[in-house]
């Protein structure tokens, strides 16, 4: 009887000769050794393939695509080939910490209701550490306004991904879109430990397709917020004005955005789709941040803007906005 691996590591690659050896070595040197490493090459034109073929480790399964069809196709292809109980994501320019697989498997084995587990990450060549919410309830709220995982850090139960592939139409925000679907199929979690070192460089897909990623990510946020029927009462543009980092707002747009924030809080209290206190806290913070941007990036008549806010929000929120608006100097007020 052939023993199947516990983990299938899926690693899509394309022209990553500078970093691929360090990435593969970090997988092969895991303390947890019961895995297969499925590498899908998307027709690399540099020495990436040569480096991969230099390994003599039987756990490596290299697939060379006949045609360049993109990152998301590579991921879905690898999922279909995976034999493991769990699927671990990895990218060709990142580094796994030695205990990563061991700690994620231990967590998933102990928490059968959790279908996906991410980790904290450290940015390579810096001391910057990025952490996402740990609990499902916190993750679900954050997914309304942005991703809650570092994609190459996640480990997922294979049967979930077999039934829920990545959607290519959302690339390069295909991971964010997938998390929002999985969030209603089981529990999601993040480990607090830094188990992946993440590399930032200009050639990343997220950097080369920034405008497309931002637009697709906004469409994902809309889908999440529409669990609260937001599009029945507000247009896409009105939602964008409220939750995206727009540089300038009219008084009418501010009023509409404040109405939207209030609607979201009240609607969730009725539907209970998201944990009420966590959702209200998140939306309230977004509202204050929104008003801070309004004062910082608005017109020249700050006094008029302040008077406008006084007629729209509570005194408590008004002072919160002023406390956050560090750049609103006395000199600016005098010039109003």
Q: In which band, very low, low, confident or very high, does the pLDDT at 331 lie, cut at 50, 70 and 90? A: very low
Share of the chain above pLDDT 90, in %: 78
Share of the chain above pLDDT 70, in %: 93
Q: What is the pLDDT of residue 203?
A: 65
DSSP code, position 325: -
Q: What is the pLDDT of residue 318?
A: 78
Tell me if residue 181 falls in helix, strand or coil. Answer: helix
Q: Is the pLDDT of residue 205 over 70?
A: no
Average pLDDT of the segment spanning 105-127: 97
Q: In which band, very low, low, confident or very high, does the pLDDT at 227 lie, cut at 50, 70 and 90? A: very high
Q: How far is CA 12 from CA 92, 108, 210, 329, in A?
A: 7, 24, 20, 50
Provide the pairing of β-strand 114-123 with 129-130: antiparallel
Q: What is the pLDDT of residue 222?
A: 97
Average pLDDT of the segment spanning 41-62: 96
**Cβ contacts of 284-290, under 8 Å, gap ≥ 24:** 286/145, 286/242, 286/243, 286/261, 287/257, 287/258, 287/261, 287/317, 288/317, 288/320, 288/321, 288/324, 289/324, 290/242, 290/257, 290/261
Q: In which band, very low, low, confident or very high, does the pLDDT at 155 lie, cut at 50, 70 and 90? A: very high
Average pLDDT of the segment spanning 250-277: 95
Average pLDDT of the segment spanning 194-201: 93
Could you give the CA distance from residue 113 to residue 260 in angstroms, rounded to a whole number? 34
pLDDT in tens, 162-197: 999 999 999 999 999 999 999 999 999 999 999 999
Q: Which residues contact 36 (CB under 8 A, 6 or more apart)?
A: 5, 7, 8, 9, 59, 61, 82, 83, 84
DSSP H stretches of helix in 111-234? 136-142, 158-163, 174-182, 205-208, 210-225
User: Which phi and psi angles does 248 have, rounded to 5°?
Assistant: -150, 145
Tell me if residue 134 falls in helix, strand or coil. Answer: coil
Could you give the CA distance from residue 287 to residue 62 in angstroms, rounded to a whole number? 49
Alpha-carbon torsion angle 264, 192, 245, 311, nearest 10: 50
Q: Determine whether 8 is exposed, middle or buried from the number of CB atoms within 10 Å of its CB (0-12, 13-18, 19+).
A: buried
Answer positive or negative: Cα dihedral of 53, 36, 160, 162.
positive
Structural domains in the chain, CATH included, are: 7-205 (3.90.550.10), 229-334 (no CATH)
Q: Which residues of 49-85 are buried (b: 16+ CB within 10 A; e: fewer)?
A: bebbeebeeebbbeeebeeeebbbbbbbbbbeebebb
């Amino acid at each position: 009887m052939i023993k199947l691996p516990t983990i299938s590591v899926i690693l899509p690659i394309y022209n990553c000769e500078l970093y691929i050896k360090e990435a593969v070595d970090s997988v092969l040197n895991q303390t947890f050794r019961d895995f297969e490493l499925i590498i899908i090459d998307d027709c690399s034109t540099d020495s990436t393939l040569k480096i991969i073929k230099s390994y003599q480790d039987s756990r490596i399964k290299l697939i060379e695509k006949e045609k360049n069809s993109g990152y998301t196709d590579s991921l879905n292809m690898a999922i279909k080939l995976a034999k493991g109980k769990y699927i671990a994501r990895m990218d060709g320019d990142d580094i796994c910490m030695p205990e990563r697989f061991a700690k994620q498997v231990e967590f998933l084995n102990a928490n059968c209701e959790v279908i996906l587990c991410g980790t904290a990450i450290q940015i390579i060549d810096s001391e910057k550490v990025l952490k996402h919410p740990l609990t499902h309830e916190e993750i679900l709220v954050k997914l309304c306004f942005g991703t809650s995982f570092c994609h190459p850090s996640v480990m997922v139960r294979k049967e979930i991904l077999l039934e829920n592939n990545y959607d290519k139409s959302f690339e390069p925000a295909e991971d964010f879109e997938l998390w929002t679907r999985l969030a209603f199929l089981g529990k999601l979690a993040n480990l607090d430990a830094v188990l992946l070192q993440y590399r930032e460089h200009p050639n990343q897909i997220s950097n080369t397709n920034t405008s497309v990623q931002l637009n697709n990510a906004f469409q994902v946020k809309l889908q999440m917020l529409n669990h609260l029927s937001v599009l029945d009462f507000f247009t896409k543009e009105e939602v964008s004005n409220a939750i995206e980092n727009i540089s300038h707002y009219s008084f009418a747009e501010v009023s509409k955005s404040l109405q939207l924030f209030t609607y979201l809080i009240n609607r969730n209290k009725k539907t209970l789709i998201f944990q009420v206190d966590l959702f209200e806290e998140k939306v309230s913070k977004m509202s204050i941040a929104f008003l801070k941007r309004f004062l910082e990036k608005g017109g020249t008549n700050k006094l008029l803007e302040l008077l406008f806010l006084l007629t729209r929000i509570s005194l408590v929120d008004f002072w919160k906005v002023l406390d956050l608006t560090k750049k609103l100097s006395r000199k600016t007020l005098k010039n109003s």
